[in-house]
Structure 1
Amino acid sequence: MRQESLEFMQRLLEAPSPSGYEQPAQRVFRDYIAPYAEVTTDVMGNVFGRIPGRGDNPPRVMIVGHSDEIGFQIKYIDDNGYLYFAAIGGVDPHLTPGKRVLVHAAGGSVPGVIGKKPIHLMEDEDRKKIVRLDAQYIDIGAGDRQEAQALVRVGDPVTFADGVQQLLGDRLAARGFDDKAGSFVVAEVLRTVAESGVTLPVDLYGVSSVQEEIGLRGGTTSAYRVNPDVGICVEVDFSTDQPDVEKKHNGEVKLGKGPILPRGANINQPLFDILAGTAEREGVPVQFTGIPRATGTDANVMQVSRGGVATALVKIPLRYMHTPVEVLSLADLENAVRLIVAALPGMGERDTFIPR
């Protein structure tokens, strides 16, 4: 992967973006795509990059990945300066005790830790229990409420403090790959198309959406705004090559074996055929899964926007989803970009996507 793209990815991952507080990451996305596309932002905070196509009224193709990550929000500050919090998105309470966090306050990020009762002081029964999130607390080192309130406020967002870590080969670990991996692919598609100098037979919209983790909210409003004929959602999906995941749930999916093309009710079959045929023609490795229902992604709301949209998913295999140590392969990201860019020229006729 080119060095500039890696640096963009690291900036995107390190920018805090819990749902509803995405703008630090969205600013990184906007700055990166500005040389390649017409950039706008809506009242929700969704960011749009448009590359016009040729012809008077070409089909609109919308590619979307969401920038928001799971996190927390400060709910209460007690007399001793401890911060109580609630989850933004799906956070496993197993994970949180003993973790380093950052409270993203008006004056800057404030480091803290989620406290944990020492094992020496716990009864045997307590060691087996999960501490509810509403009983956990953040210690920023404050001596009392007044000292804590001088730095943080109720409503401030919180993220895990974990950064990007290179593993063996092309594997990276980080928080927030769900779904900054998708926003990254969207940005790289815009860059690749712009740098090719080729005018496509489609109006291309690359969208970094918001508030997906709390109900597909940015995907809903951005699809309504763009009113696409074709929608491709770039998301992450469970890699089943870790020891404790059952392949019967999600099929056989491995890191480094290419992006995933799901089939099912959320997927337009002619669009799936274009993507799968492009992968075979261009030698792009892909993996296939089945999702026999609406998916929990922006593809779900795109498909049923207005009069309906021909929708597909391109998913990136990911280990340890919704943890601060999500792991993926850079090759899968690059191949997702290759696949989408190569498939775009085949999307120039609206009638292509009507099932027959």
Structure 2
Amino acid sequence: MDSDAREFLTRLLETPSPSGYERPVQDVIREYTKRFADEVKTDFHGNVIAVRNPAAPFRVMLAGHCDQIGLIVQYIDDDGFIYFQSIGGWDVSVLIGQRVTIWSDSGPIPGVIGRKPIHLLSEEERKAVPKMKDLWIDIGAASKSEATQKVRIGDPITIELASRELWNNRLISSGLDDKSGAWVVIEALRRIDGNKLQSACYSVATVQEELGLRGARTSAFGIDPHVGVAVDVTFATDCPSMEKKEEGEIKLGKGPVIYRGPNMNPRVVERLIQVAEANNIPYQLAAAGKATGTDANAIQVNRAGVATGLISVPNRYMHSPVEMISLDDLDAAATLLARFVESISPQDDFVP
């Protein structure tokens, strides 16, 4: 991973993009992709679409969603405490005590998520799973009138955006689901050798995946690709309490995961495997016997159908403020996709 790619990843992770409020991260992606893409545009839904060799009749779409789970301001009480809804799927227990930022029109507002201290919880309260309605955000306001000078109902909220590198080239941050995938598809587009590119390659930072695969659905309709590959994160099972019999054996640092199953086009899957092996790119296999809950599902059933694959980056502690990935897996995923696109000829037959 060169310095430009690393800087791009850092900027993605430091930029807020809760589902439905991805505007700031769109600017970061557009600025980076204009260096090497032939065209960059943002559609009405908010998907950022970068393309190389757009005149080619055979179209390949790479998709990674740029939205992250977040929160949204729901109610401000008379004392200036702020209550919130979830944007996407949170484990409420990980929210307690977190530093947050409310992204208001007047600028970022720092705060903390509070709860009654453990000393004052009843025995029943200690045993109960916490509910979101029992948590609040404290921005230090002394009253509702003071809080509403800066904060409005509907303002988006993120957990504090911060990343840190750990041993063995591992990275922790909130929002790696799925800024990892957005980084991979954009970086893959940059790494493609233009002399080997025979198709039109569209890399899309899709929006609102966490709300129901919405951006992939609209962008795929607009592009009308012949082949599509989604990039997301998947559960790493190399940590305590993970059941390999249920989730498979997926390890950090052992390469991106290529999924096999009824939702994946077998010819796309085999081509990904062949490309990985021919280029000495490490990879892992995983099975998915049903719908995956990723952009691959929306792409697969676009229009009359798309030959679709799914590559995933192993991720520990998903949907938490401390998601963990391997930078080696991220790097390998981008290279794999670049070589995969280079391998495609308009004469290739992806009909199962």
State whether residues 177 and 318 of structure 2, in contact with CA within 8 Å, keep that contact through their aligned partners in structure 1: yes
Matches within 5 A, 1:128-277: 128-193=127-192, 196-277=193-274
CA-atom RMSD in angstroms: 1.2
2:94 — aligned with what? 95
Runs of 4+ that moved beyond 3 A: none
Q: Residue 288 of structure 1: CA displacement?
A: 0.3
Does the 8 Å contact 1:58/1:348 carry over to 2?
no
C-alpha distance in 2 between matches for 1:350 and 1:114: 56
Q: Deviations over 1:312-333 (max 9, x none)?
A: 0011000000001000001101
| SS of equivalent residue, structure 1 residue 130 | coil
Q: 1:224 to 1:263 in 2, by over 3 A?
A: same
Q: What CA distance in whole angstroms lies between the structure 2 residues aligned with 1:186 and 1:283?
A: 20
Measure, in 2, the Cα distance between the counterparts of 1:136 and 1:28: 32
**1:79 — aligned with what?**
78
Partner of 1:5: 5
Question: 2:138, 2:255 → 1: CA distance?
Answer: 42
Structure 1: distance between partners of 2:137 and 2:146: 14
Displacement after TM superposition at 1:4 (Å):
1.8
Q: Is 1:291 matched up with 2:288?
A: yes
- Counterpart contact for 1:241–1:255, Cα < 8 Å: yes
Does structure 1 conserve the Cα–Cα contact (< 8 Å) formed by 2:101 and 2:111?
Answer: yes
The separation in 1 between residues aligned to 2:190 and 2:85, in whole angstroms, is 38
**Shift in Å at residue 232 of structure 1?**
0.4
Q: Is the 8 A contact 2:112 2:138 kept in 1?
A: yes
Q: Per-residue CA shift, 1:33-71, capped at 9, x if unaligned?
A: 011111000011100001016xx7531000000000000
Partner of 1:36: 36
1:337 aligns with 2:338: no
Q: Deviations over 1:267-298 (max 9, x none)?
A: 00011110001111111110001001121011
Counterpart pick for 1:325 among 322, 325, 330: 322
Q: Which residue of 2 aligns with 1:50?
A: 51
1:346 and 2:346 correspond: no
Q: Please give the TM-score of this superposition, normalised by the length of structure 2.
A: 0.97
Cα displacement string for residues 203-254 of structure 1 (whole angstroms, at most 9, x for unaligned residues): 0000000000000000100000000000000110000001111111221000
Alignment CA distance shift 1:350-1:150 (3 Å): farther
TM-score (norm 1): 0.96
CA contact (8 A) 2:196 2:342 kept: no
1:130-162 per-position Cα deviation (integer Å, ceiling 9, x unaligned): 221122111101011000000110000000014
Could you tell me whether the CA contact under 8 Å between 1:61 and 1:230 is conserved in 2?
Answer: yes
Which residue number in structure 1 is paired with residue 67 of structure 2?
68
What is the one-letter code of the residue matched to 1:303? Q
* Residues in 2 aligned to 1:78 and 1:202: alpha-carbon distance in whole angstroms: 56
Q: Secondary structure at the match of 1:138?
A: strand
Structure 2 counterpart of 1:27, which letter? D
Flag structure 2 segments of 5+ consecutive residues without an equivalent: none
Q: Secondary structure at the match of 1:12?
A: helix
1:79 counterpart letter in structure 2: D
SS of 2:209's equivalent in the other structure is coil
1:225 is aligned with what amino acid?
Answer: G
In 2, the alpha carbon distance for the partners of 1:232 and 1:291 equals 15
Aligned length: 351
Aligned counterpart, 2:18: 18
Contact 1:63/1:233, CA 8 A, preserved across alignment: yes
State whether residues 58 and 201 of structure 1, in contact with CA within 8 Å, keep that contact through their aligned partners in structure 2. Answer: no
> In structure 2, do the counterparts of structure 1 residues 89 and 350 end up closer, same or farther at CA, with 3 Å as the change threshold?
farther
